[in-house]
A and B are shown apart, each in its own frame.
Chain A
Amino acid sequence: MAAKGKKKSKKIVQQTVEESSSEEEEVDLETMERMLNDEGSSEEDASEDEELDQDDESSEENDDESEEEEDEEVMEEEEDSAGVVEDDEDEEIPMGGEEKCNIDLKNLLAFNTHQVNHRALYKKSSVTDESTEIFVDGMKIANEDHLLQKASEGCTQLLAGLWKLETERTDAGPRAILPSYYQTVTPRELPPPAPKAETRWEKFAKERGIAPKEKRSRKVWDEATGEWAYRTGYQKASSENDPMSWPIMEVRKNQDPFEDPWERARDAKKARVDKNTMNRMKNAESSGEIARGTTRRLMKAKLKERKAGREGGALDMKNFSNTPAGVPVDISEKQRGKELTKLALLATQRSTASMGKFDKMREGEPERRKAMSGLKKRKFESATAKEGVKNEAKSSLKVLENVMTGGGRKKELAIRRGDHARGETGHDFDFDDGLSSSRFRKKKGRAGIGKMKKVTKKTAKMAR
């Protein structure tokens, strides 16, 4: 079962390694092949897959790739013709002056460590007319054909190496058993995970020599339903020990008989769970996985939230009344203050279709205030209007004039003092802040309510 488990495309690597004597190479290969032959059928799966690749793949490789995508390494008879089978290990003479490659069968890699033939690899500016590339002096152009040839050589040798492996018969054809070891050792991508820190319990158990508990089964037999059910969690098996399933509970000594015992049981359970969580987090804290103080903060917040929820719930229950509607309820407790009474009156005064305009005044009813007094409707002012800035300047000057002639702070203070009020109290009338174009003035007394009269020169004189 040494089938290759990874779906990685195989790469034939042609390394341009500087120099290496051919003798050494042969020795290497020989030892390697010897090792190849006495491979055991270990069950190791390919776990590492760093491969270097530089060059393009031949069509043969593509064939190979598609096969590897299945989990098995199936070798078909067709490839036999393409690949060169070298039966004799000792006299491995590559065909047609091939360069011999180092083969890593576990990784399905072939390394060509021979010196690169520069003359063959780089063309001499023999540019074909069909080429659309632009060439510059001194630019080197790799000979694609040469590269392809080298790649196919490596591939051929790799396939030949595969054929030398032990095979087993399957219904899809012969299957090679890959060696258990890697010829090329690739480093792991990430550093190994840090060793797990000891928890407080583990440390304690070690000191006392307490053996770890046996693992409990996840499921237990539920006698009530006659089925296997989970020990904990959703749809867990009902247990006699679970107080929540008891229909009746004994009130022990020193216990409040009016307290809800199930609530107490629930609380106790929650406290136990919390304690466990806290311990777990504290362990994580001491091992440096989470920041110090997180546990305390979190547990405190949790308790606070729970308490707030309880209080809120209790409040809801208190406010919840199951008195039927229509039954007179004594509301004497709830008294409106002066402010709220005023506001309620204000709202009531305007709560007719005419906004209180045609309502009769009741005895002792205070003056009605205009609903939207003091609010001016804003007109849209375009920022880009043709005459916009000019008009704006005009109105700005107007405002400036107003500000400079005491319409500013002094007047504001005067308004606040009620100097400009024309009624008996400071709130009786709208103020004339001098900004509005309005020349209306309210009449004094009840006649002024909701009615406006234009002030003419004559009436103004009369008013004085």
Chain B
Amino acid sequence: MRPLTEEETKVLFQKLAEYIGRSIEKLINRSDERHCFRLAAKDRVYYVSESVMKASTTVARDNLLSFGTCLGKFTKSGKFRLHITALDYLAQYAQYKVWVKPSAEMSFLYGNNVLKSGLARITESTPQYAGVVVYSMSDIPLGFGVAGQSTDACKDLEPTGNVVLHQADIGEYLRGMEDDIF
């Protein structure tokens, strides 16, 4: 377990900023307890409170499987990949949101993109390729993805066009696509 280097922090923030923009600040300066980002298990990034982090230093590196919230991992090529476990924080501060119809929920939860036909609502002025969080109509965050089209372009899109390109969804908890999302 170690703090992120400057370069790693930059990569992480770039990715997070796509989804929550400036609200990363709220993750760093919290009112309740100081939180920090830690790199453990070789390439995982965990968002963890100071007290938990300090307690976890007593666990040997090999034995420390998880602590705090896993935000994602660094790929071998140095990019950062968000895991579905990060959804809690993304949903909390999401800049761009997409609500899907109940009929399209299941499709998204099985790892498919959100089509125009399944789109119920979308945040105004969503640019293309922005990170969006997908909600059900009852405002339950289902996952996140990348906006396939800007809001304006979405309006005159055919029903089969992709509105949100799937990145992660809460179905992964059950599907177990990756054993190690935590």
By a CB distance below 8 angstroms, the chain A residues around B53 are 383, 389
B2 touching A383, Cβ below 8 Å: yes
Name the contact of A381 in the complex, choosing from B3, B13, B24 (C-beta under 8 A).
B3
Instruction: Tell me the nearest residue of chain B to A436, going by C-beta.
Output: B6
Nearest-CB distance from B74 to chain A (Å)?
A: 16
Please determine whether A404 and B17 come into contact, CB atoms closer than 8 angstroms. yes
> A31-39, A61-69, A149-157, A393-401: which lies at the B interface?
A393-401
Q: How far is A425 from B2 in the complex, measured between Cα atoms in Å?
A: 38
Question: At the interface, yes or no: A238 with Cβ under 8 Å from chain B?
Answer: no
Q: Does B123 contact A (CB under 8 A)?
A: no
Query: Closest residue to B3 on the A side, CB-wise?
Result: A381
Q: Which residues of B contact A390 (CB under 8 A)?
A: 34
B2-20 vs A, Cβ < 8 Å mask (1 yes, 0 no): 1101110110011001000
Query: CB distance A400 to B5 under 8 Å?
Result: no
**Bound form: Cα–Cα A397–B10 in Å:** 10
Residues on the A chain within 8 Å of B17, using CB: 400, 403-404, 408
Of the residues B1, B6, B22, contact of A395 by C-beta under 8 Å? B6
Kindly report which residue of chain B lies nearest to residue A382, judged by CB atoms.
B3
Nearest chain A CB to B29's CB is how many angstroms away?
7
Structural contact, A392 and B3, CB atoms closer than 8 A = yes
Cβ of A435 under 8 Å from chain B: yes
A44 to B2 Cα, complex, angstroms: 74
Partner of A383, one of B9, B25, B57: B57
Q: Which residues of A contact B14 (CB under 8 A)?
A: 403, 408-409
Binary interface encoding of chain A residues 200-241 relative to chain B, with 1 for a CB under 8 A from any of its CBs, else 0? 000000000000000000000000000000000000000000
Scan residues 391-426 of chain A and give those whose CB is less than 8 A from a CB of chain B: 392-393, 395-397, 399-400, 402-404, 407-409
Tally A residues with Cβ within 8 Å of B.
22
Q: Does B76 contact A (CB under 8 A)?
A: no
In the assembled complex, the CB of A383 is this many whole angstroms from the nearest CB of chain B, namely 6
* A401 vs chain B, min Cβ distance (A): 9
Say whether chain A's binding surface is mostly helix, strand, loop, or mixed.
helix
- Interchain pairs with CB closer than 8 A, number: 61
The answer, among A376, A389, A408, for a CB contact under 8 Å with B10, is A408
When distances are taken between beta carbons in the complex, the residues of chain B under 8 Å from A400 are 13, 17, 22, 24-25, 28
Residues of chain B within 8 A of A376, CB atoms compared: 6
Given contacts A381-B3, A403-B14, A435-B6, is CB(A396)–CB(B54) below 8 Å?
Answer: no
Interface residues as binary, B25-49 with A (CB distance below 8 Å gives 1, 0 otherwise): 1001100001011100000000000
* Nearest neighbor of A397 in chain B, beta-carbon distance: B28
Cα distance, A396 to B4, chains bound together (Å): 9
Q: Does B88 contact A (CB under 8 A)?
A: no
Give min CB distance, B36 to chain A, whole Å.
5
Inter-chain contacts of B24 with A (CB < 8 A): 400
Whether A131 is near chain B, meaning CB under 8 Å from some CB there, is no
Q: Which B residues are in CB contact (< 8 Å) with A408?
A: 10, 13-14, 17
Is A318 on the interface with B (CB-CB < 8 A)?
no
A403 touches B36 (CB 8 A): no
Determine how close the nearest CB of chain A comes to the CB of B95; give it in whole angstroms: 12
Interface flag for B50 (CB, 8 Å): yes
Point out the residue from B2, B10, B50, B54 that lies within 8 Å of A435, measured CB to CB. Answer: B10
Contact A393 B1 (CB under 8 A): no
Contact pick for A393, options B5, B10, B29, B54, CB 8 Å: B29
Max chain B Cβ within 10 angstroms of own Cβ: one of A389, A390, A397: A389
Contact at B36–A399, with CB atoms within 8 Å? no
CA of A403 to CA of B10, assembled, Å: 7
Q: How far is the CA of A389 from the CA of B57 in the complex (A)?
A: 14
A399 to B13, CA, bound (A): 8
A457 sits at the interface (CB 8 A): no
Listed residue (B21, B36, B37) with the most chain A CB atoms within 10 angstroms of its CB: B36
A154 to B138 alpha-carbon distance, docked (Å): 85
A384 at interface by CB-CB < 8 Å:
yes
Any B CB within 8 A of the CB of A378: yes
Residues of B within 8 A of A393 (CB): 28-29, 34, 36
- Residues of B participating in the A interface, judged by any CB pair closer than 8 Å: 1-3, 5-7, 9-10, 13-14, 17, 21-22, 24-25, 28-29, 34, 36-38, 50, 53-54, 57
Known: A395-B6, A399-B9. 4 other contacts (CB 8 A): A376-B6, A384-B54, A397-B25, A409-B14
